[in-house]
Homo-oligomer: A and B are copies of this chain.
């Protein structure tokens, strides 16, 4: 027998992604979100949701593109800071000491020090309620050499991302591979 809980954003795990945009003054801004995910394989798309009051929202509407920089655990403090401050009154790159690099694929900056970057063009915008969801096509990806696997693709244990736990407001690291997709489940087929 299960207990009922009032509706809330308690689904887990959620990612920690840093959304890069340029504002009206061409200042690079960066904002951390946990409300996002991949939403399509072909062509590859990912979503980010932000509130209308954010500096990032205005930039997304105008520039119609953004980057997602994925932080390693090493950059947890900086990623959390990017979710605390507002680009309206802070230069978050300058204060954190991290580097804004202009994407050569989309009109948006990314965090040079973070290991894995997605360069996206907004294709759909959905006004849901307190948040607006931006659905972006992934037009380019950049990664540090040292996070790639033998096939030249990013390896999760090398990227070392972390997740956000909404109910405890904690960030959690990943531990180990515990199963194989499209394989472990064959044990269920008699």
| CB <8 Å contact, B170 and A95 | no
Q: Does A133 contact B (CB under 8 A)?
A: yes
Most buried by B among A3, A70, A148, A164: A3
Work out how many copies of this chain go into the complex.
Answer: 2
* B168 close to A155 (CB less than 8 A): yes
Interchain CB contact (< 8 A) of A188 among B45, B81, B161: B81
A149-170: CB near B (< 8 Å → 1, else 0) gives 1011111100101111111111
Task: Determine the distance from Cα of A144 to Cα of B3 in the docked complex, in whole angstroms.
Answer: 6
Q: A39-B133, A138-B7, A168-B156 are in contact. Are A161 and B12 (CB under 8 A)?
A: yes
**Set B4, B140, B161, B189: member contacting A7, Cβ < 8 A:** B140
Q: State how many angstroms separate the Cβ of A154 from the closest Cβ of chain B.
A: 5
Report how far A72 CA is from B168 CA in the complex, Å: 18
A126 to chain B, nearest CB (A): 5
Partner of A187, one of B77, B148, B173, B174: B77
Q: Which residue of B lies closest to A118 (CB)?
A: B11
Are B149 and A70 interface neighbours, CB within 8 A?
no
Docked Cα-Cα span, A130 to B167, in Å, equals 33
With a cutoff of 8 Å between Cβ atoms, the chain B residues found around residue A138 in the complex are 7-9, 11
Complex CA–CA separation, A186 to B96 (angstroms): 10
Minimum CB–CB distance for A39 against chain B, Å: 5
Q: Does chain B have a CB within 8 A of A139? A: yes
Q: Least Cβ distance of A61 to chain B in Å?
A: 17
- In the bound complex, residues from chain B placing their C-beta under 8 Å from that of A128 are 39-40, 45, 123-124, 135
Query: 11 additional contacts, CB 8 Å, given A4-B142, A45-B131?
Result: A3-B144, A9-B41, A11-B116, A12-B116, A12-B156, A13-B15, A14-B37, A39-B128, A80-B180, A126-B126, A171-B180
Provide 20 A-B residue pairs closer than 8 Å at the C-beta atoms, listed in order of the A residue: A2-B112, A2-B144, A5-B142, A6-B141, A7-B141, A11-B17, A12-B161, A15-B37, A38-B166, A40-B130, A80-B181, A80-B182, A80-B184, A81-B185, A83-B182, A162-B179, A163-B174, A168-B177, A170-B179, A171-B179
